[in-house]
Amino acid sequence: MSSIQKLVNVVAAGLPVVDAKTQIETLSRKGDPYLPGVPTMLEGQFVSELFNWWDKNDSALTTTRLLHKVLEVPYPNEGRSRCDSVFSVNDEGVVSDWAVEFKRTQMVGDNGKNNDYGIPKLLSPYLKDRSLRHDVERLSSSELAPRLGVIGYSFSHSFALTEESLQHHPNERERIANVRSVCHKNDPRFGILDPMEMVYLARAMLERSGLVLDFASAGFRNAWRHPCGGSGVVYGWEIRPLG
């Protein structure tokens, strides 16, 4: 199993726990509170709580032990730009130092309606969109750590998952109906809205560029704190350092 696969597995194991326990309440641009849960957490908020969980629970769920972490690390000579995490792990006796950026991709918003901004964050080839490609290129030349990676996470949606959501959130029928509407536009038969379809496109783009090494993915379930949550996928690449 590759090193990036082990890191992706850690994130997939921790995401439902963070989702269930977080006390963070994110606000909309108008100042209205979103419902709590990973779907509405900002990337930095999620990363902070994920590493707190990992620091306390690594021996219980993974052999990849967290030794040291620093979050929001400045990129050299890039003004205010910061890398989400720089950390050290002990993986079955082998110590590795990593710098990793995290990428959240949401296909629906807090209200369950279509999110127009999630897909460009993953697939845009233009650096102006601060996309996945932007993170990969910036990390590749950063020299923040000997090993570099980017890890994304996204929720899946379907008619079956909206029915499951109703069991967990019977008072959120409007939000769930909105998700179902988005699913219907994509797949009238089953409503499947699978983030891996985007990930495969991103993988092809990044591998063609020569910027990445290994790819990894892992599914997660039971992240039902938010009615737009549930199941999804964590995915990532180890990045080829420049120079």
For residue 167, pLDDT beyond 90: yes
pLDDT of residue 217: 97
Give the three-state DSSP class for 205. helix
Task: Examine residue 181 and state whether it is found in any structural domain, yes or no.
Answer: no
Distance CA 1, CA 3 (A): 7
pTM comes to: 0.95
Residue 5 host element (H or E): helix 3-21
Average pLDDT, the chain: 92
β strands within the chain, DSSP E: 64-74, 82-91, 94-105, 147-155, 212-223, 230-239
Angle at 58 between CA 81 and CA 154, to 5 degrees: 55
For residue 39, pLDDT beyond 80: yes
* Residues ≥6 apart with Cβ < 8 Å to 105: 118, 119, 121, 122, 152, 153, 154, 195, 198
Task: Examine residue 128 and state whether it is found in any structural domain, yes or no.
Answer: yes
Token pair for 192: 């499947």
Task: Examine residue 189 and state whether it is found in any structural domain, yes or no.
Answer: no
Task: Examine residue 146 and state whether it is found in any structural domain, yes or no.
Answer: yes
- Edge-to-edge order in the sheet of strand 82-91: 64-74, 82-91, 94-105, 147-155, 230-239, 212-223
Task: Examine residue 161 and state whether it is found in any structural domain, yes or no.
Answer: no
pLDDT of residue 59: 54
Range of the domain at 58: 3-156+195-239
pLDDT of residue 109: 94
Q: Are 235 and 7 in contact (CB under 8 A)?
A: no
pLDDT of residue 61: 57
Report the domain count for the chain.
1
pLDDT of residue 30: 86
Task: Examine residue 164 and state whether it is found in any structural domain, yes or no.
Answer: no
Task: Examine residue 179 and state whether it is found in any structural domain, yes or no.
Answer: no
For residue 153, pLDDT beyond 60: yes
Task: Examine residue 185 and state whether it is found in any structural domain, yes or no.
Answer: no
* Residues ≥6 apart with Cβ < 8 Å to 186: 192, 193
